[in-house]
Structure 1
Amino acid sequence: MAKQPVEQDAKTRIADEEKVLIIRSKDDPTAFKPLYEKYYKPIFLFVLHRIGDKEIAADITSQVFLKALVNIGSYSFRGLPFSAWLYRIAINECNDFFRKSKRSRIVILEDYMADFLYEEMFAHDRLEDLKQKLPEILKKLKYEELQLIELRFMESRPFKEVADILGITENYAKVRTYRILEKMKTLFTNHAKH
């Protein structure tokens, strides 16, 4: 039981340290370096998962951190981690890449992802069928719908963080997720009939 306050104290200390670095970065760009070093790898992997090409992902990740540094003055502390702001920039950069390159988004699925989505969509024994059809179903989603599903189910992010990354309210993220799951369920059911 005593462990929880210690963990909370550590989280608060880290958040306070980040806050100091963010404030200092507004006047001194070299103060941004520890933030860059802490978040480069997770942001790179986030972008790589969406883009599928290491060189392009590295370029986009560099652009994310450049934009973050240039716009650090507009960052405001709203009770969400600094990382959520970086992920939001990364999502926007990925969106720009797909829009400009006219490339299609590729979704990489692991078995556990299909299991998790299945639990959300169904209460009966069609898991193997869903695993086979899920890639086709995901291809039929709009890009914005796919982003929400990825953030929530494939990356296990809480609704509050999903909402901040996508620039929507937490309630809208929940409603939208429910509607997308219903759409996927309909697509699966219709796909099963053919």
Structure 2
Amino acid sequence: MVALKDGGAALTSNQPLEPELIQRAVSGDPDAFAALYDTYIERIYRFIFFRVGDEPTAEDLTSQVFLKAWNNLSSYQVRGLPFSAWLFRIARNSVIDYYRTFKETTPLEPGILSEPDPAADVDEVVGQQLQAEEIRLALQHLTEDQRHVLTLRFIEGLTTEEVAQVLGKRAGAIRALQMRGLQALAEIFGSNDEPDPKGF
């Protein structure tokens, strides 16, 4: 499955730069869109999984995100968003629609967050997965906006400005949500100190 630490397939020196790929994809080039898909698939999946906590559901919603992106590429440039922010906004809206449809929260059962590396130390792999699951469960106690902000900032590595674009809020509001979310997590984890963002 998707590895927690990897940010998706990076564009190699042999591939066109992302703006060129986007322009080609907007023009209907499926190969260009496939390259963008490979670049962002893991990050979008990971964002959704941390919100729904269920692998099959996360996989299904991730597929829907890229289908919606492909079908709406012609309107992308008009929005004036970075492509990554545009994708994450689609993912966020898909998660919201999912919960609106089913109403009840998905059971919070532990899932496999990544395929273990055969060469990796078993204790290290298990420890990483338990830590990730603990964080995911703790996030369920935050407000929806706080969950989105912390997931995008510390799990997906977006800047404050990028998160603001995804959520349609001012950067100052994002910083306030981040601070309140970290304070809430500190209370959940029983610490007087804010959680270290590197732990995400």
TM-score by length of 2: 0.61
Q: 1: distance between equivalents of 2:58 and 2:34?
A: 20
Give the aligned residue type for 2:17. E
Q: Indicate if the aligned counterparts of 1:145 and 1:180 stay in contact, CA closer than 8 A.
A: yes
| Deviation (angstroms), 1:112 | 8.5
Distance 1:181 1:51, change over 3 A: closer
- Answer 1 or 2: higher relative contact order, Cα 8 Å, separation at least 6: 2
Give the aligned residue type for 2:47. F
- RMSD, aligned α-carbons: 3.8
Matched residues, number:
160
The aligned residue for residue 32 of structure 1 is: 33
The aligned residue for residue 84 of structure 1 is: 85
Deviations 1:149-175 (A, max 9, x none): 332344443211221221212222113
Q: 2: distance between equivalents of 1:61 and 1:145?
A: 21
Q: 2: distance between equivalents of 1:101 and 1:60?
A: 13
Identity, % of aligned positions:
36
Deviations 1:95-139 (A, max 9, x none): 11122111326598965899xxxxxxxxxxxxxxxx9xx966x54
Normalized per residue, which structure has more helix? 1
TM-score by length of 1: 0.62
> Unaligned stretches of 5+ in structure 1?
1-10, 115-130, 190-194
| Deviation (angstroms), 1:16 | 6.9
> Unaligned stretches of 5+ in structure 2?
1-10, 111-128, 191-200
Q: Indicate if the aligned counterparts of 1:152 and 1:162 stay in contact, CA closer than 8 A.
A: yes
Q: 2: distance between equivalents of 1:27 and 1:112?
A: 39
- Computing the radius of gyration from Cα coordinates, the structure with the larger value is 1
